[in-house]
Amino acid sequence: AQTVTQSQPEMSVQEAETVTLSCTYDTSESNYYLFWYKQPPSRQMILVIRQEAYKQQNATENRFSVNFQKAAKSFSLKISDSQLGDTAMYFCAFMATSGTYKYIFGTGTRLKVLA
């Protein structure tokens, strides 16, 4: 069974600074996708970034980038130039491409951006 671990329950960062959120996962699958979702106080789950395991290049989306280390089963999210609107819960998620395509989520990291 796959598991996703987020070891940082809470983090804070000063506005305009950079912060990295950690995520590790455990799987025996070779093909899969990894995701970071943002959940602001509105409760809506918003996709931040996705990474396909067969791609060696790390995904980037504007101020958001990942450090994907497949051998170490690590998938961290870096937020550059943090903004007050980045304050939210962040969830790491895993989806294997064999079988039933279930999404497995970590327990989340609550990020607070300080003015």
- Positions in the binding site for another protein (CB under 8 A): 4, 6, 9, 33, 35, 42-45, 47, 50, 52, 91, 93, 95, 97, 100-108
Q: How far is the CB of 46 from another protein (least distance, A)?
A: 8
Output 86 or 108, the one with its CB closest to another protein.
108
Output 35 or 68, the one with its CB closest to another protein.
35
In the chain, where do the E strands start and end? 3-5, 10-14, 19-21, 24-26, 32-39, 46-52, 60-61, 64-69, 74-79, 88-96, 103-105, 109-114
- Sort strands 103-105 and 32-39 into parallel, antiparallel or unpaired: unpaired
Output 18 or 31, the one with its CB closest to another protein.
31
